[in-house]
């Protein structure tokens, strides 16, 4: 065994223990690989888990990720948040992660067979489900919808294949290369795009990814020493101008891309060449007798741990909360010429108080379209939930990747959206809406206020998350492949059924959920619930022609049918 392979085994073991993951070695290698390869992307552990589609009838695909303008898209429901234009850049990443010691042609053969079928627009949902598992079909339908929307709007489409294994290094033969080229040609023809690529990663590359730390400390060089001013004991601020070339350098990651993670608390997307950005671009590219900052509102940054040395300010935990359009325009349009003396106004606010930070974010973004999650993140009930989860030993990630960046165990972190889905499914007997319309749970005032009622016992909110997580973990380890594939779209239903099976009744109150002992939900409860769910699915499909696994998972009629069957079960 090579040194790289031995060291990587240790890294995977550390990753498993740090994130408290209890899965098979193959599954852990898959999650580890995807986490390292996408380390520079602003995605969560939940995003990675939701992208995994392997198992029976997976067509040789282990993971599918869909990005629109570098933003991870989890479901078709998310597409409401995107405005497709001729500047839209959509990227699809199809991965294979094999815990094998060499690169083999078999996975390529499967893809060569799968891709023409999966990307055949004439095939409907039912036709795809006759060949592939429902998780794969669900994400394929999302990919196809984004592909259509992007193509119709005149945007750009890119597809990347990733093949990872535990080979010591990348060694492939001519036949492997020929099949890789065949896969690329097939994909180009299917998607009508030339931007299709293939990347292979061995132990050597994975180790490099692992050792590459995502820096939370960056330095920004001002044109002159910034003016510093404090406000009593509440915080300190720095104000100054930064040359356009230096500000672009501040935004640039090691691989030359813009650091998207710096903008998580800002608006969701760069708006492309809308009128205001066209003007910014024109100003940047055509210098005149006016300094850039005279014509621009500037940049607002929230950060921690400042260290000032002359004109340079080193800071940690950076969030650019205002000035995304300006930042992207400078990054995209400036030529990095250090002779260009024009500058942008930059304000850096040093503050660790979360309430103050929330107020800054809310006020600086009040004129901008923000995601449903960010709009909710600053509300009192969300801040209180974060504190409650923290006191219970868990992490409520109301700001995406806040706790991931602090190195907290991935399996103990819960996002706002997943929490809302778990509560809607388990406490309000509505797994179909939680499954089909996750974004609407946060957008709709009535639904949001019902889910996150501050008068409810917060223990019930946490228990919904933990019941869902426990059911998901049981499902991941389930040995019956046929049942597992059949129920893969029903993980929220499983959480709902586990709760009812524990109390042996259909109508479970929120107070009962708040007081439940999680240790009393056992493997036996799960086995009973998943077998009942599997049988109910079979019966429902048989009684309702024209339905399939994906649409009944999103169907109120199926949920009602499930509860009817439960009533019969509990009354017998």
pLDDT in tens, 428-446: 999 999 999 988 888 888 9
Question: Rounded to an integer, what is the distance from CA 561 to the centroid of its chain?
Answer: 32
Q: Kindly tell me the burial class for residue 367, based on how many C-beta atoms sit within 10 Å of its own C-beta (0-12, 13-18, 19 or more).
A: exposed
pLDDT at 556: 96
Residue tagged 């552990």 (tokens): 45
Give every strand in the sheet of 156-165, ordered side by side: 71-73, 63-68, 89-98, 156-165, 196-201
pTM of the model: 0.78
pLDDT in tens, the chain (572 residues): 578 888 899 999 999 999 999 999 999 999 999 999 998 787 899 999 999 998 889 999 999 999 998 889 999 988 987 889 998 999 999 999 998 889 999 999 999 999 999 999 999 898 999 999 999 999 999 999 999 999 999 999 999 999 999 998 898 999 999 999 999 999 999 999 999 999 999 999 999 888 875 556 899 999 999 999 887 777 789 999 999 999 999 998 877 888 877 876 654 455 555 566 778 888 898 888 899 999 898 999 999 889 988 899 999 888 888 888 899 899 989 999 999 999 999 999 997 676 676 677 666 654 444 555 666 777 889 989 999 999 999 999 987 777 887 789 999 999 999 999 999 999 999 999 999 998 888 888 899 999 999 999 999 999 999 999 999 999 999 989 899 999 999 999 999 999 999 999 999 999 999 999 999 999 999 999 999 999 999 999 999 988 999 999 999 999 999 999 999 998 87
Q: Domain-by-domain residue ranges, the chain?
A: 3-211, 217-364, 372-571
pLDDT score, position 369: 46
Question: Rounded distance, CA 19 to CA 410, Å?
Answer: 5
Check residue 316 and give its pLDDT: 86
Residues 6 or more apart whose Cβ sits within 8 Å of residue 98: 104, 107, 163, 164, 165, 166
CA–CA gap between residue 418 and residue 438 (Å, rounded): 8
Q: pLDDT tens, 481-506?
A: 899 999 999 999 999 999 999 999 99
Contact 506, 570 (CB under 8 A): yes
Instruction: Please give the pLDDT value at position 373.
Output: 64
- The pLDDT of residue 268 is 46
CA dist 296 and 28 (Å) reads 48
Burial of 16 (0-12, 13-18, 19+ CB in 10 A): middle
pLDDT digits (tens, 9 = 90+) for 398-410: 877 778 877 899 9
pLDDT of residue 231: 79
Does residue 372 contact residue 273 with C-beta atoms inside 8 Å? no
Query: What's the pLDDT at 406?
Result: 76
Kindly report the number of other CB atoms within 10 A of residue 335's CB atom: 10
Residue 407: the pLDDT is 82
Nearest by Cα to 364 from 301, 274, 295: 301
- The secondary structure of 419-477 as a DSSP string is HHHHHHHHTSS-HHHHHH-TTHHHH-HHHHHHHT-TTS-HHHHHHHHHHHHHHHHHHHT
């Amino acid at each position: 065994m090579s040194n790289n392979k031995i060291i990587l085994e240790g890294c995977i073991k550390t990753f498993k223990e740090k994130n408290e993951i209890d899965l098979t070695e193959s599954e852990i290698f898959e999650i580890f690989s995807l986490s390292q390869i996408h380390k520079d992307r602003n995605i969560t552990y939940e995003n990675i888990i939701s992208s995994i589609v392997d198992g029976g009838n997976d067509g040789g695909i282990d993971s599918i990720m869909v990005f629109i303008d570098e933003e991870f898209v989890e479901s078709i429901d998310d597409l409401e948040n995107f405005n497709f234009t001729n500047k839209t850049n959509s990227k699809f990443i199809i991965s294979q992660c094999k815990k094998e010691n060499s690169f083999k042609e078999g996975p390529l053969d499967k893809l060569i067979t799968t891709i023409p079928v999966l990307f055949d627009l004439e095939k409907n949902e039912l036709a795809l489900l006759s060949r592939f598992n429902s998780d794969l079909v669900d994400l394929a339908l999302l990919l196809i919808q984004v592909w259509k929307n992007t193509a119709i709007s005149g945007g750009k489409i890119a597809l990347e294949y990733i093949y990872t294994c535990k080979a010591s290094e990348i060694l492939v033969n001519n036949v492997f290369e020929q099949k890789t080229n065949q896969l690329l040609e097939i994909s180009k023809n299917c998607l009508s795009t030339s931007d299709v690529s293939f990347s292979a990663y061995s132990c050597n590359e994975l180790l490099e990814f692992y050792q590459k730390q995502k820096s939370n400390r960056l330095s920004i060089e001002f044109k002159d020493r910034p003016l510093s001013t404090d406000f009593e004991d509440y915080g300190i601020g720095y104000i100054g101008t930064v040359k356009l070339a230096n500000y672009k350098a501040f935004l640039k990651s090691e691989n030359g891309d813009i650091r998207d993670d710096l903008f998580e608390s800002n608006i969701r997307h760069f708006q492309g060449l809308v009128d205001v950005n066209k003007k910014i671009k024109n100003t940047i590219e055509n210098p005149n007798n006016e300094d850039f900052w005279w014509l621009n509102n500037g940049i607002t940054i929230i950060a921690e741990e400042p260290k000032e040395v002359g004109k340079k300010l080193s800071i940690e935990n950076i969030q650019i909360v205002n000035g995304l359009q300006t930042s992207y325009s400078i990054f995209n349009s400036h030529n990095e010429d250090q002779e260009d003396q024009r500058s942008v106004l930059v304000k850096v606010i040093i503050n660790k108080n979360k309430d103050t930070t929330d107020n800054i974010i809310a006020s600086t973004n009040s004129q901008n379209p923000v995601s449903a999650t960010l709009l909710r993140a600053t509300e009192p009930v969300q801040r209180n939930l974060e504190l409650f989860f923290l006191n219970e030993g868990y992490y409520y990630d109301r700001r995406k990747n806040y706790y991931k960046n602090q190195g907290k165990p991935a399996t103990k972190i819960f996002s706002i959206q997943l929490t809302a889905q778990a509560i809607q499914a388990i406490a309000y007997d509505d797994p179909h809406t939680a499954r089909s319309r996750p974004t609407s749970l946060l957008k709709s005032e009535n639904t949001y206020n019902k889910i996150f009622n501050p008068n409810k016992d917060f223990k019930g909110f946490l228990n919904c998350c933990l019941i869902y997580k426990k059911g998901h973990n049981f499902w991941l380890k389930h040995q019956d492949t046929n049942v597992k594939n059949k129920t893969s779209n029903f993980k929220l239903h499983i959480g709902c059924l586990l709760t009812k099976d524990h109390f042996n009744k259909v109508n479970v109150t929120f107070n009962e959920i708040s007081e439940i002992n999680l240790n009393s939900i056992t493997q036996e409860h799960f086995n009973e619930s998943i077998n009942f769910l599997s049988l109910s699915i079979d019966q429902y499909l048989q009684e309702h022609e024209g339905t399939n696994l994906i649409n009944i998972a999103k169907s109120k009629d199926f949920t009602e049918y499930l509860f009817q069957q439960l009533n019969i079960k509990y009354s017998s």
